[in-house]
Amino acid sequence: MLGIPNIKSMKATFQTKEGQLICKASSLDYTTRQRAVKVAISKGARTLQSTDERGRVQDLTHILQGRVLTIRHSL
């Protein structure tokens, strides 16, 4: 696959839908997404999305909300 970069090696920005920057990352792999969710929770975010270097946006709010529910149920 020449010329097609691996999605895991793409740079990404994680932010809320309202535009608040959560963090920047050098990949979009599972571990990076989970770290971004943790940072978003610590910043009190209610929504989360990622934008890769090609400008593609992925809504990650369902992951964020699922993690918050897990934390609440464990208290």
33 token code pair? 């997404």
Q: What is the pLDDT of residues 13-67, one digit of tens each?
A: 999 999 999 999 999 999 999 999 999 999 999 999 999 999 999 999 999 999 9
Note the pLDDT of residue 10: 79
Interatomic CA distance for residues 44 and 48, integer angstroms: 11
Note the pLDDT of residue 25: 95
Model confidence at 1: pLDDT above 50: no
Note the pLDDT of residue 4: 54
When comparing pLDDT for 6 and 68, which is higher? Answer: 68
Per-domain boundaries in the chain: 11-74
| Claim: this prediction has a pTM higher than 0.85 | no
